[in-house]
Amino acid sequence: MNDDKTWLIEAGDVLEVMTPDRKPTQPAPRPRAEVKIGNIPPAPASQRPALAATGVPIRPLTAVATPGEPAPRRKKPAPPAKGKLQFAPLALLTYVLGPLALFLTPRGRRQKGWVAVAGLAVGATALLAGLGFDGIVDASRPATVWAWLGLVVLAVAGGFTAWARALHLIGAEGIPSVNKLPWWVRRAWTVSGLGLVAPGSGLLMSGRAGRAALVLWGAWPVVAAAVLLRNGLSLWRHHETAGWLADHGVLLERGLIAVAAVVALGFLGYVAQALEGVRQVMVEPGLKTRVKGDYYAVAVMAFALALVVVANPAQLARQIDTGGHILREEGFRAIPLELSLLSARLDPARVEYALQAMDLYSELGAHEQADAMRAQLDANLGRYVALVQREAVSEFGLARAEPTRTRPARAAAVETPVQVRTEPTRTVETAAPAVEVTAAPPAEPVVEKIEPLPVGLNATWYLGAMMKGARGSAPDSSAPGK
């Protein structure tokens, strides 16, 4: 072949046709490493004009060992630098030390701003734990409660911010592949358990250090809400002593309800991040899993269904009502109202929950809601009493029942009574009176309106009194207390 016009190159390189008056515009092909296969020696570079023309030396690389030669040795991983911890103990200490974990990495120790934030958070936490609410808040100075709130925000928000930064720096130090972790750590149950104990640990093991730090930082509003809810009774007593509750008591109660809602939503997010960590670990390439994600979803749904079947709403309603009574004795109104409404929804058979809610509506000045609830209760009780009355008439064979306070009279046809009236006559011979029989006008049916039941009336007593009236005996007018 004419070497002035063509070049012969190997497969994988670019073939370009050139003329003597044109220089190649592309760079020379990169040399390839020699691979020794079996006992066949590699071709010398002199026999390959395309690569020999470059002048780059070719270094042989043995990738496959010959049958008679030992296997090639793998290079051992470089040991960690002096003073540098490995990933497992580093991650464990990060979750144990909290914001102080910034001192575990050289980069964290060099960032003075983050170290200052961590120091302030630790100091505020120590002050809150040492003095407590009563040691900081003074009833004679209402402004001290704002100082306590500021310390809570500084301790929680600053602490979790520095803690999340330390976790992100741990991820920057290097996270090993999931496939290199022990087999018992790669299990879904282990990852989910670690995620519940240490938020974001599953995401950290999967290599998502940024997401793990974000999950950890997002926990501070929930923790702050839990601290406020824990000291809610102390806040109430302080404002009651300071006289602030006279105009803003309901506002404080609404705030505590909102704080409780934040805690409930935070618990759901807490469980969700653990499941997300499991999902991220399970999708790693090369990791064999026998159970798919759909089976875990079915298991969660079955667990929720079992809770619904096994739960006892009546017992839960009694416990909630007991908590409402305790708070009502402390002076709360809005929170016991919500608890009474919840108890009434869980156990509608007990009328006292609805009666307590109507009483609290009246105390709060919401008379329209109280009247509407009373009308609904009267309608429900009227239908129920009519049903029980028909059953009583059928059981005891009572054709007619006398009207009582707990059972209105039936609007049935009433026989016309005969009224007998005597008048003296003017006959002189006899003194016997003349008897005149006159018919009286038809009497109106006696229908007595059911008055609203007193607070705390037991529905069992109500039905018992109605049954006594059906038998013909007068019911007891004294209603038992709660």
Same domain? For 290 and 147 the reply is: yes
Please name the residue that has the structure tokens 């009651």. 240
Task: Tell me the C-alpha distance between 12 and 81, whole Å.
Answer: 41
pLDDT of residue 151: 93
pLDDT of residue 32: 53
**Is 420 part of a structural domain of the chain?**
no
pLDDT of residue 152: 93
For 126, phi and psi rounded to 5 degrees? -65, -40
pLDDT of residue 284: 62
Same domain? For 68 and 92 the reply is: no
**Is 428 part of a structural domain of the chain?**
no
Same domain? For 93 and 64 the reply is: no
Same domain? For 111 and 255 the reply is: yes
Q: Which domain holds residue 50?
A: 1-74
Number of domains in the chain: 3
DSSP per-residue letters across 253-277: HHHHHHHHHHHHHHHHHHHHHHHHH
Same domain? For 262 and 164 the reply is: yes
pLDDT of residue 226: 93
Same domain? For 194 and 147 the reply is: yes
Q: Where among 53, 74, 95 does a domain terminate?
A: 74
**Is 81 part of a structural domain of the chain?**
no
**Is 166 part of a structural domain of the chain?**
yes
Q: CB–CB of 128/118 below 8 Å? A: no
**Is 248 part of a structural domain of the chain?**
yes
**Is 412 part of a structural domain of the chain?**
no
pLDDT of residue 177: 76
Same domain? For 118 and 171 the reply is: yes
Quick count: other Cβ atoms within 10 Å of Cβ 407?
A: 23
Same domain? For 343 and 287 the reply is: no
Which of 102, 118, 99, 98 is closest to 110 using CA atoms?
Answer: 102
Helix (H) or strand (E) holding 149: helix 144-153
Task: Tell me the C-alpha distance between 31 and 74, whole Å.
Answer: 24
Residue 362 — left, alpha, or beta (φ > 0 → left; ψ -120 to 50 → alpha)?
alpha
Same domain? For 127 and 271 the reply is: yes
Per-block average pLDDT, block size 10, for the chain (482 residues)? 51 53 54 51 54 52 51 52 64 89 88 92 91 83 85 93 92 77 79 88 87 92 92 85 73 89 91 86 62 67 82 87 88 89 88 88 87 85 78 64 47 41 45 48 47 44 50 45 42
Task: Tell me the C-alpha distance between 217 and 245, whole Å.
Answer: 34
